[in-house]
């Protein structure tokens, strides 16, 4: 049975690329069609009625017409524009990081509704404030669950012994944790303290409501970020572009915060 020529779907716009003088190729992540691409004709023209509905980090209802090589957007309506994500550079970088990971890990035209819901919920959580780093760590671990790269955090991936509450090691190549004995055979593993392992397990095995109240100090937060980023980099075999931008924003913010305040003393009359 042939598919209807025209169809409609919810979508989160996760990537856009210029095409010609006025068009764009959009990458859309949808609940039932997975990752798809479509051309939005004339969307870069100043008077385009669709442009605002097809911006990055927008949740929209999109109408499309099937084409021979690529489908065409014929209409669109915004469901949620996620304005807080677009008015704060750091939140923008967090959200783009999440969409980049979905774009890199998700297969074309393969339905994964739980991953769509995870991305959508992550964007909502980033908008609502709180610990954005915790939101990202939760997102990373559950994205890996959905795409088949769930790291083993409960037992040693080499000898399969249950891990003790000591400093064990994480091996990206082995796909999880190594006990102190087995880590000697994996030189590319690196140590992870017991409290970091505990937090990762909590994030991996609970829904967000159960862990949303966790308070994590900056040093531990940085350790968690590094273990996840190293694993993701290993799986993708490349650097995550939006993560580099996020690091740059952090450095600029830290520089502003530590820069000493000085004021020229008033000159006597």
Write the pLDDT tens digit of every residue in 30-67: 999 999 999 999 999 988 999 999 999 999 999 999 99
* CATH number given to 84-251: 1.20.1440.120
Pairing outcome for strands 71-80 and 34-40: parallel
> Please, which pLDDT band fits residue 255 given cuts at 50, 70 and 90?
low
Domain boundaries, the chain: 6-81, 84-251
Residue 266 has pLDDT above 60, yes or no: no
Cβ(143)–Cβ(151) below 8 Å: no
* Token digits of residue 64: 């499309």
Q: How far is CA 94 from the centre of its chain?
A: 7
Q: What is the mean pLDDT of the chain?
A: 91
Cβ(31)–Cβ(10) below 8 Å: yes
Q: How far apart are CA 254 and CA 259, in angstroms?
A: 8
* Token digits of residue 2: 């042939």
Q: How far apart are CA 98 and CA 120, in angstroms?
A: 10
Residue 263 has pLDDT above 50, yes or no: no
Residue 90 has pLDDT above 80, yes or no: yes
Write the pLDDT tens digit of every residue in 187-198: 889 899 999 999
* Token digits of residue 167: 């400093």
Write the pLDDT tens digit of every residue in 228-239: 999 999 999 998
CA nearest neighbour of 242 among 88, 27, 96, 121 = 96
pTM for the model stands at 0.90
Q: How far apart are CA 177 and CA 191, in angstroms?
A: 9
The whole-number pLDDT of residue 154 equals 95
Pairing outcome for strands 23-30 and 6-19: antiparallel
Phi, psi of 14 (to 5 degrees): -110, -10
User: Taking residues 202-217, what's their average pLDDT?
Assistant: 94
The whole-number pLDDT of residue 143 equals 98
For domain 6-81, say whether CATH 3.40.50.1000 is its number. no
Burial class (CB in 10 A: 0-12, 13-18, 19+), 220: middle
Cβ(80)–Cβ(233) below 8 Å: no
């Amino acid at each position: 049975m042939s598919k209807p020529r025209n169809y409609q779907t919810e979508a989160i716009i996760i990537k856009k690329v210029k095409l010609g003088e006025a068009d764009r190729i959009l990458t859309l992540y949808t609940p039932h069609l997975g990752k798809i691409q479509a051309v939005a004709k004339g969307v870069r023209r100043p008077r385009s009625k669709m442009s605002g509905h097809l911006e990055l980090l927008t949740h929209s209802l999109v109408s499309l017409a099937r084409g021979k090589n690529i489908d065409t957007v014929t209409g669109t309506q915004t469901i949620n524009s996620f304005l807080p994500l677009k008015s704060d550079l750091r939140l923008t970088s967090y959200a783009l990081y999440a969409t980049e990971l979905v774009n890199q890990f998700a297969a074309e035209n393969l339905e994964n509704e739980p991953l769509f819901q995870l991305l959508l919920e992550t964007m909502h959580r980033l908008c609502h404030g709180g610990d954005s780093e915790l939101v990202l760590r939760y997102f990373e671990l559950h994205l890996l669950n959905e795409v088949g790269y769930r790291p083993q955090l409960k037992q040693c991936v080499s000898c399969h012994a249950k891990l003790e509450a000591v400093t064990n090691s994480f091996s990206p190549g082995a796909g999880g944790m190594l006990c102190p004995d087995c880590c000697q055979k994996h030189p590319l593993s690196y140590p992870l303290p017991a409290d970091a392992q505990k937090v990762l397990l909590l994030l991996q095995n609970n829904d967000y409501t159960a862990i949303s109240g966790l308070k994590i100090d900056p040093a531990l937060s940085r350790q968690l970020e590094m273990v996840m980023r190293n694993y993701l980099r290993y799986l993708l075999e490349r650097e995550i572009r939006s993560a580099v931008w996020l690091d740059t924003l952090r450095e600029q913010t830290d520089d502003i915060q530590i820069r000493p305040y000085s004021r020229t003393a008033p000159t006597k009359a």
